[in-house]
Amino acid sequence: MAARKRQVTGGVDTHGKTHHAAAVDQAGRILGDQEFPATTAGYQLLLAWLRGFGAVVKVGVEGTGTYGAGLARFLTARGIALVEVDRPDRRARRAKGKSDPLDALAAARAALSGQANGTPKTRTGPVEAIRALRVARRGAVKARTAALNQLHGLIASAPDTLRQELNGPATTLVNRCAALPVNETRLTDPVEATKAALAVIATRIQTLTTEINQADRRLRPVVARTAPHLSAVYGVGPDVAGQLLTTAGDNPDRLRSDAALAHLCGAAPIPASSGRTDRHRLNRGGDRAANSALHTIALVRMRYDPRTRAYVDKRTKQGLNKKEIMRCLKRYIVREVHTALLADFTALNTP
């Protein structure tokens, strides 16, 4: 009877192959810990094990967006209150040590105390689909950038005859390099070897460009259908909208206010006052990709939006520098983005 009345909080340290779980009571006393396979059958065993100690109030899970994504979906589908737990900081690990049971216990106690109170993303809707498409696009963009750097580096150090041959419009450089004739029997000659390398790299760039264009054709309509209000915000294009959606997740209602979204995006002002100086500084934390998206919106508005340009002039006359003005702009933009996200989320969930 006592076990059935006991309220239990769980904590899970997630890994690729296994998850380590710990259970604590209302006073934080450890009830047990055990390792389970990171499979559907393992999730079932883990939940049954937790329920064996009493009524499961909530479970703190590390890595709900990576190794713990499957477990998070499983527990959410069964009505278990889920809390996203950050890994212990380095100072705590130096003092108490590091092991899977210790990390699971720390996750359980963080969830119990309220130190960890973040609601994880559900990852079951169109935003998760957008995130997956953007992963492929982002990888192709990075690979193309690296290939372009290699191409320009090879041209810079190429023999003079080849460099003169490649002089011309930069817009056609990749196509000209891809079309270079290569004599396979003379690859010991630096000129022929450089031609062969340039042709291979240029072909790779063309392939990656095709891949990026295909990803854009897939993403634009999906983003437009999922977030019409967000896409209508001044300065928000498909790529920026996709990033902000990915940051918010399929359940943006977990962000209780625009201040919570600003904190998540690293756009919340950080106090930097001392003595008689009262000021704030830029936040270097949060989701840096989301912060970069806000930065893009701010730059577009500073260049093309008359209201924003007037605001910048006003704040400049008040003595603020460009970084401080950008911080203020990002905070205002977050309010618009938060309102648009909630409107899109309401429309998606309205029958």
pLDDT in tens, 241-271: 999 999 998 888 788 889 989 988 988 877 7
Q: How large a percentage of the chain has pLDDT more than 90?
A: 68
Lowest mean pLDDT among 124-133, 278-287, 328-337: 278-287
Distance (Å, whole) CA 174 – CA 118:
47
Structural contact between residues 131 and 216, judged by C-beta atoms closer than 8 angstroms: no
Distance (Å, whole) CA 313 – CA 306:
11
Q: What pLDDT, on a 0 to 100 scale, did the predictor assign at position 284? A: 76
Q: Give 138's pLDDT tier (boundaries 50, 70, 90).
A: very high
Task: Return the bridge partners of 137, or none.
Answer: none
Distance (Å, whole) CA 337 – CA 331:
10
Helix (H) or strand (E) holding 18: strand 18-24
Q: Give 297's pLDDT tier (boundaries 50, 70, 90).
A: very high
* Residue 40 reports pLDDT greater than 90: yes
Alpha carbon distances (Å) from 204 to 166, 200, 216, 292: 18, 6, 18, 28
Q: What pLDDT, on a 0 to 100 scale, did the predictor assign at position 282? A: 67
Tokens 């393992």, located at residue = 42
* Residue 194 reports pLDDT greater than 90: yes
Range 6-19 average pLDDT: 94
- For 197, residues 6+ apart whose C-beta sits below 8 A from its C-beta are 154
* Residue 157 reports pLDDT greater than 80: yes
Q: Label residues 83-115 b or e (16+ Cβ within 10 Å = b).
A: bbbeebeeeeeeeeeeebbbbbbbbbbbbbeee
* Residue 338 reports pLDDT greater than 90: yes
Q: How large a percentage of the chain has pLDDT more than 70?
A: 95
Q: What pLDDT, on a 0 to 100 scale, did the predictor assign at position 1? A: 47
Spell out the SS3 assignment of 127-157: HHHHHHHHHHHHHHHHHHHHHHHHHHHHHHC
* Residue 217 reports pLDDT greater than 70: yes
Comparing 314 with 90, the larger pLDDT belongs to: 314
Of 142, 147, 198, the residue nearest 175 (C-alpha): 198
Tokens 């989320």, located at residue = 345
* Residue 134 reports pLDDT greater than 50: yes
pTM over 0.85: no
